[in-house]
Structure 1
Amino acid sequence: MLIENFSNLNLSKDFLTNLDSLGYTKLTAIQQKSLPLSLNNSDLIAQAKTGSGKTVAFCIPIINKLNIKNFRIQSLIIAPTRELANQIALEIRKLSRHIHNLKVLTLCGGTPFKPQVLSLSHEAHIIVATPGRVLKHIEQNNIDLENITTLVLDEADKMLDMGFYDDIMQIIDTLPKNRQTLLFSATFEKNIERLASNVLKNPTIVKIENEEKVHIKQKFYEVKEENKTALIPAIISSNKAKSILIFCNMKIKCDQLADDLYALGLDVLTLHSDLEQKQRDETIILFSNKSYPILIATDVASRGLHIDDVDLVINYDLSSDEKVHTHRIGRTARAGKGGMAVSLYTSNDFDRVELIKDAFLDIEDENIEKIEDDLSYKIDSGLRTIFINGGKKQKLRAGDILGAMTAGIGLQKEDIGKIDILDFASYVAINKEKISFVLEKLSKEKIKGKYYRIYEK
């Protein structure tokens, strides 16, 4: 019999109270099938798409068996990208708010190396890392992994696609043999079987399949290349979408499309590998907190980013194959919610269209003439974001910022959206009609006894 509620799991009262405060009441399908096994210290191979609740599924057992008094690295989570590693670390911090002095450290490429060495010298309980960077720390003897009790490989298929197999095996060779290993993957192919056979002991296989076909409605339109951009506003308005993710295959196309849509009066963000990590983090925050309605991205954003409530995915360029297509459209319909994916293709894309249609048997072509552009529909966001030049390192918390805005300057709670706090910066979504008021008043108001520089992003 499957467990349906978090309250039925064998977790401490404080843990359950924290889960309830985060809005975690009912388990998703992958959580129902995996948590009873992983909480029992079993090795696990779990197949589930992005957005199915898998991060919570592997974070809960890690936190549950953590010995907070043992200030050594007890769990290692390996992920393919910096963005995913940062999102996992954030989720762990939320899930473990009931535990004092828990230290989670991220080790990712594209960020300064020496500060990581210093942080490692002070130890941590949980490490979240990309393969190349944690291997570099191992090779330079910066990290002690002999107390590891749990290893998680998240998005394992993506890591293998990116050529990380040898790095992963070198990392695993340094870990204790007596450990729990949890492998999460969106697909289960020969390369995953090979990895699993080398690193897991008598694993249980849990599969949650075909969720995309149940929840995501897809429309395909054959168009001329030169007509694509002009169709975007009509596609958005006809679907009454408020949060839109558009995929292009090349970085230069992202920037060109952003310029063209901006010229049409639309507010857009872009996300691709040419952006520095700080810019990428900020872009994800501004889109996920609903300050901008449209994000144009390359496939760097198709996996591993926790951006909820995306109403519409548009494949401006058709993906290279059906696997990439599946991951792209999986950005909508997260955690069982409905979603829409629209794909544009030209006569040169017929082969790729057929590949994708073979994987999704319910796809039908639509006539672009049937797209009804609702000119009265406003493609905009009711929120904008303010930047505060202080964060976790200054001991700022969401409650401090919320208090300064409400009790301090008199802003109503309903005018405040999501608050994101990074190490040295904080971002707050605000009713855009109140931005000028907040900028004027908050710059003169102390937050936790100190003045901070504040401006609009």
Structure 2
Amino acid sequence: MKEDEKFSKLKLPEEFLKNLESLGFDKMTEIQAKSLPSLLDEKDVIAQAKTGSGKTVAFSIPIVQKLDVKRFRIQSIVLAPTRELANQIAIEIRKLSRHIHNVKVLTLCGGVAYRPQVSSLFHGAHIIVGTPGRILKHINEENINLNEVNTLVLDEADKMLDMGFLEDIGLIIDTLPKNRQSMLFSATYQENIDNLAKFVTKNPLNVKNENEEKTIIDQKLYETNQDAKTSIIPSLISSNKAKSVIIFCNTKIQCDALSDDLYDLGLDVLTLHSDLEQKQRDETIIFFSNKSYPILIATDVASRGLHIDDIDLVINYDIARDLETHTHRIGRTARAGKGGLAISLFTIDDEDKIEDLKADFDNLQFERVEHLDDDLSYKIDSDYRTLFINGGKKQKVRAGDILGALTAGVGLAKDDIGKINSLDFCSYVAVKKEVVKKALDGLSNGRIKGKYFKIYEK
């Protein structure tokens, strides 16, 4: 590893570096190495890099580094296109700032209760992460004071423009201090991004990942008819020995219909789309990311900002409506430079879209359905199951408390325990399916941090 690629070479305090090391951060990704020195010098930066390249850490480290925790005012604001991305950014910032006591990161997104957000704003925060529409609503109703903001981040700027947030973003920026640091991160850099960048930034440094290769993702396309699509899915999974799969549909109705059909075929599936309540969406992402369910069926609400590693197969049940969406979909299987496989099912009605894909990708492999090598002995399954705990951060239940209860209390090995997600009022812990009953019984009859909690298997 080159010395200048290490986080230890950055101008960061020792306790910050120790926190990064504890989180597994040692070598910087390309976009981090290119942007962080300038960002830590408080310069404006425009960065182009795909999801999974480490850009959240790139813009979060400067936010944390310049934070004055004793000044209980909003100092940084991060705008994101979706609730899912905003929540994941907030989680990342909390992890990166855990060496600092009493940092308050508040998420402000639509689709969740408004009044509790007003109450949280009344009690104050250091960092705001949210979607443009909801943040603008709080500004218009004078619930939020942004007079002391010194850092603005626009994440997935291209997606926000695609979703029609340009006017909202402009109105939010008009309320911010002119003397601030601005960062703009985008997966693509089109003309509209350039116009936005001129409005947002001052004398910015432009950085771009040079080593992003489309060919690290194998792409296979199968021609079929609409009625036969569903019956092909099990063969696609078994022939590729896939263990973690995302299937993309263009509509919520198709997601639900496909979910029912695959469940009838004996497959464990989750669905993710905008009709779900926020709690359901949060649970779905937790269950899939902690490897408790092997298959996620989603609309494009999940194709951007879904930070889940080790997805080895993406299936486009419906061909994406445009090339950009297709690119982001298949990118779910190649996070952090890893290779992967993306399979697209198309019908005769998709000919125009297929021609567009041919023009943009030179690695498309057109396969025949009848040549699929279906392994009937293969059954996709998950290694983990998830336990729900009726206690979270508000009850002072932390991930370390749950880990201790399972190891010292119940007697599980650390290797039996997967991801632990501690939310405000509840927690989720993944445990290997072989020990789930032992974990459930042990936690139900024992205590976590001296208290009894209700425990369920989800």
Q: Is the 8 A contact 1:2 1:33 kept in 2?
A: no
Cα distance in structure 1, aligned partners of 2:48 and 2:363: 22
Instruction: Provide the rounded CA distance (Å) in 1 between the counterparts of 2:210 and 2:261.
Output: 38
Quote the Cα distance in structure 2 between the aligned partners of 1:312 and 1:2: 35
Structure 2 residue 199 is matched with structure 1 residue 229: no
Equivalent residues in 2 for 1:284-323 (5 A)?
284-323=285-324
Cα-to-partner distance string for 1:182-202 (whole Å, 9 max, x where unaligned): 000111111111111111101
One-letter amino acid of the counterpart of residue 234, structure 2: P
Identity between Structure 1 and Structure 2 (%): 69
State the Cα deviation string for residues 264-298 of structure 1 (Å, max 9, x = none): 11100000111000000000000000000000000
Displacement after TM superposition at 1:209 (Å): 5.3
Q: Deviations over 1:22-77 (max 9, x none)?
A: 11111111111111111111111111111111100100011111111111111000
2:246 is paired with a residue whose SS is strand
Output one character per residue of 1:218-259: Cα deviation in whole Å (capped at 9) or x when no partner.
111111222211111111122221110000111111111111
Structure 1 counterpart SS, 2:430: strand
The one-letter amino acid of 1:240's match is K
Q: Is the 8 A contact 1:212 1:330 kept in 2?
A: no
1:210 Cα deviation after fit:
6.9
Q: What does the per-residue CA deviation read over 1:93-113, in whole Å, with 9 as the maximum and x for residues that have no partner?
A: 111111111110111111111
Q: Which residue of structure 1 aligns with residue 221 of structure 2? A: 220
Q: In 2 relative to 1, CA 326–188 (structure 1 residues): closer, same or farther, beyond 3 Å?
A: same
Offset of residue 362 of structure 1: 2.0
Q: Which amino acid aligns with 1:278?
A: K
* Contact in 2 for aligned 1:74/1:148 (Cα 8 Å): yes
- Offset at residue 378 of structure 1 (A): 2.1
2:142 & 2:57 partners in 1: Cα distance?
A: 31
Give 2:392's aligned residue: 391
Matched residue SS, 2:71: coil
**Corresponding residue number in structure 2 for 1:35:** 36
Whole-angstrom distance in 1 between the partners of 2:283 and 2:445: 25
Tell me, yes or no, if structure 1 residue 448 matches structure 2 residue 415: no
SS in 2 for 1:331: helix
- 1:293 and 1:125 map into 2 onto residues whose CA distance is 37
- Give the secondary-structure state (helix, strand or coil) at the position aligned to 1:93: helix
| Separation (CA, whole Å) in 2 of partners of 1:185 and 1:315 | 23
| Residue aligning to 2:426 | 425
How far, CA to CA, are the matches of 1:117 and 1:290 in structure 2? 35
- Secondary structure of the equivalent of 1:375? coil
Distance 2:366 2:38 in 1: 43
Structure 1 counterpart of 2:122, one-letter code: S
Mapping of residues 111-130 of structure 1, within 5 Å: 111-130=112-131
Which residue in the other structure is 1:140 paired with?
Answer: 141
Equivalent position SS for 2:5 = coil
Q: Where do 1:365-376 residues align within 5 Å? A: 365-376=366-377
On the 8 A contact 2:410/2:438 being kept in 1, the answer is no
Q: Distance in 1 between matches of 2:33 and 2:197?
A: 22
Q: Which amino acid in 2 is paired with 1:53? A: G
Give SS of 1:105's match: strand
SS at structure 1 position matched to 2:4: coil
User: Which residue does the alignment assign to 1:180?
Assistant: 181
For each residue in 1:84-132, what CA deviation from the matched residue of structure 2 results, as whole angstroms up to 9, or x when unmatched? 1000000001111111111101111111111111111111111001101
Matched position secondary structure for 2:176: coil
TM-score of the superposed pair, with normalisation by structure 2: 0.98
Please give the alpha-carbon distance, in whole angstroms, between the structure 1 residues aligned to 2:89 and 2:454: 29
Cα distance in structure 2, aligned partners of 1:61 and 1:275: 34
Amino acid across the alignment from 1:95:
L
Residue of structure 2 equivalent to 1:416: 417
Equivalent residue letter for 2:115 = K
Matched with 1:257 is 258
Distance apart, 1:212 and its partner CA: 4.8
Deviation at 1:454, TM superposition (A): 0.5
Give yes or no for contact 1:45–1:184 (8 Å, CA) kept in 2: yes
Q: Decide whether aligned partners of structure 1 residues 22 and 40 sit closer, same or farther in structure 2, where only a CA change above 3 A counts.
A: same
The answer to whether 1:279 aligns with 2:280 is yes
- Give the aligned partner of residue 161 of structure 2: 160
Q: Which amino acid aligns with 1:305?
A: L
* Mapped partners of 1:177, 1:225: distance in 2: 54
Report the equivalent of 1:245: 246
Aligned amino acid, residue 319 of structure 1: A
**Would you say the 8 A contact 1:228–1:344 is kept in 2?**
yes
Cα distance in structure 2, aligned partners of 1:212 and 1:244: 22
Give yes or no for the alignment of 1:65 onto 2:63.
no
Deviations 1:338-364 (A, max 9, x none): 111011101110100111221112213
CA distance in 2, matches of 1:70, 1:127: 15
Change (3 A) 1:324 1:424: same
Amino acid at match of 1:137: H
| CA 217–456 in structure 1, closer or farther in 2 if over 3 Å, else same | same
Unaligned 5+ segments in structure 2 are none
Residues 275 and 452 of structure 1: CA distance in aligned 2, closer, same or farther (over 3 Å): same
State the aligned residue count: 457
Q: Matched residue of 2:446: which SS?
A: coil
Q: Distance in 2 between matches of 1:185 and 1:251?
A: 26
How is 1:351-390 mapped onto 2 (pairs within 5 angstroms)?
351-390=352-391
Q: Distance in 2 between matches of 1:377 and 1:17?
A: 43
Work out whether residues 2 and 32 of structure 1, in 8 Å CA contact, stay in contact via their aligned partners in 2: no
